[in-house]
Structure 1
Amino acid sequence: MKKFLKISLTIFAVLALAIGGYLLYILKFKQYDVADEEVDTIVEEPYTIELPGDEFSLEDQEVAEGDASNGTTNGEQTTSDESSTAGNQSQNPTQTGKSQTTTTTTTTTNNSSTRQPTTSPAQPASKPTVAAIKQKYAPTFSNLEAQADQKLGALIGRAQGEYNAKKANGESVDYGYFYNKYAGAANALEANTDAAFHTVLNAVENDLVKHGYDKSYAQSFKSEYEATKKARRDGILDKVTGL
């Protein structure tokens, strides 16, 4: 009896090793012709990243308003001077006229010299809060996630379409081929998505540091991204096993 159990266990172990080795071979080591232009297009299409620009600061606005005010004042003074000159040229050549014109010119000059631009005292630009800085980048992260979901949906749709076509044509389905082809494509797509995400994350961190905050405040974006990525992977497995 003991001898029979030993033989049975040995046979079971050999079969398990053989099956495991075969699965490892067909999934990891066997070479497949997985070239697919449509899959390559889905994976290699670059992400579109639109980073928010810096806000127009209050200080810049005051400088611009000050320049506009000075330009208007200079224009008014030039006009007054030109009017005075025109008045001198058209005056009556009598001594009384000259005296009156001189008085008028002096008055006009005095009025011009007393015009001073009224500018408000400069105020420092308000410092944005951490929440305001992070909120500024929220649409960029949302757009990136939407692009990733669209690419992944296209990749899954391509896999399902190829699988259904083989079934409809009565062809045998090689699961090793499907695994190697689409698992590799999904990994490449995830790597591209990670690179795009870190581009935006670095921009947030730099913005925080620029305004005197620690870049660790941006880590909530990374935690949320990792959770979303895990859910995305689980979704892929559910759809693949349902083929």
Structure 2
Amino acid sequence: MKKWKIMLSIFVLMLAAAAGTLYYFLNIKEYKTADTKVVEIVKSDYKIKLPDKGRSEGTTEGTTEGQAKGESGTKTAENTAVEATNSNDGRSSNSSQNAASSNQESKPVAADILAKYQPAFNDLESQANGKLNNLVSYAYSEYQAKKANGEEVSYFYFYSKYSSAAKQLETSIDQSFDYIYGALVKELEDSGYSAGEAKSIKDHYVSLKKQRRSALMKNAVENLK
């Protein structure tokens, strides 16, 4: 029994030492990873074009006052008074209908506002994927160059260098997304809608971030073999 306790203690110490060594190489030890090319790839230089915030204003058509004329061109005072009253009622009714129609047309639908910003989000996604692909390609080319030159390939070096670059890239993408998303939410609220109308876009973006991380790890494992 005592022998098993000693062996278990040794095993625990070995695990602790291994974990400590791994933590040191991954988080404490500093590697010379400065690279102007990587800095160029991950820098925040996204081109963002927000849509116009102008609304489609409804146009109100003016009403034309009819002038009823008799064959002889003369009317009685009674007929004139009746026709004037009917004409005023007609103008009032038409004005109310046109005003209501104008208000309905001038307020955009929430779905239309979301659709208006979709091209900006799609463009950001395209630029982000391009930067990610460039980063992976550059990491792979560096790895291949070291192997071809007979240099020592340190996986800890590559992890330290490119995980840091990936985090910087994600941060810059987040900032650009928040800029577009903030403009979208503001327009929704200015139009009388809740910010919750844009939740689906936020959720989609978070999902894309997870996919990017997964794709980055997959590419790293496949390329650094």
* Same fold, TM-score > 0.5, yes or no: yes
Structure 1 unpaired stretches of 5+: 67-119
Read off the aligned partner of 2:197 and give its amino acid letter: Y
Q: Which of 132, 152, 157 is the matching residue for 1:177?
A: 157
Query: What is the alpha-carbon distance in structure 2 between the residues aligned to residue 220 and residue 229 of structure 1?
Result: 14
> In structure 2, what is the equivalent of residue 236 of structure 1?
216
Query: What is the alpha-carbon distance in structure 2 between the residues aligned to residue 19 and residue 54 of structure 1?
Result: 58
Read off the aligned partner of 2:11 and give its amino acid letter: F
Shift in Å, 1:56: 5.7
Using structure 2 for the length normalisation, give the TM-score. 0.77
Matched, 1:145 2:144: no
Shift in Å, 1:182: 0.5
Shift in Å, 1:45: 3.9
Read off the aligned partner of 1:15 and give its amino acid letter: M
> In structure 2, what is the equivalent of residue 5 of structure 1?
4
Using structure 1 for the length normalisation, give the TM-score. 0.72
Q: Deviations over 1:8-30 (max 9, x none)?
A: 21221121111111110010000
Deviates more, 1:139-148 or 1:165-174: 165-174
- Three-state SS of the structure 1 residue aligned to 2:39 is helix
Query: What is the alpha-carbon distance in structure 1 between the residues aligned to residue 44 and residue 114 of structure 2?
Result: 27
Contact 2:55 2:108 in 1 (8 A): no
Matched, 1:14 2:13: yes
Matched, 1:47 2:27: no
Superposition CA RMSD, Å? 2.0
> In structure 2, what is the equivalent of residue 227 of structure 1?
207
Superposed, 1:81-92 pairs within 5 Å as none
> In structure 2, what is the equivalent of residue 128 of structure 1?
108
Identity of aligned residues (%): 40
Shift in Å, 1:62: 7.2
> In structure 1, what is the equivalent of residue 184 of structure 2?
204
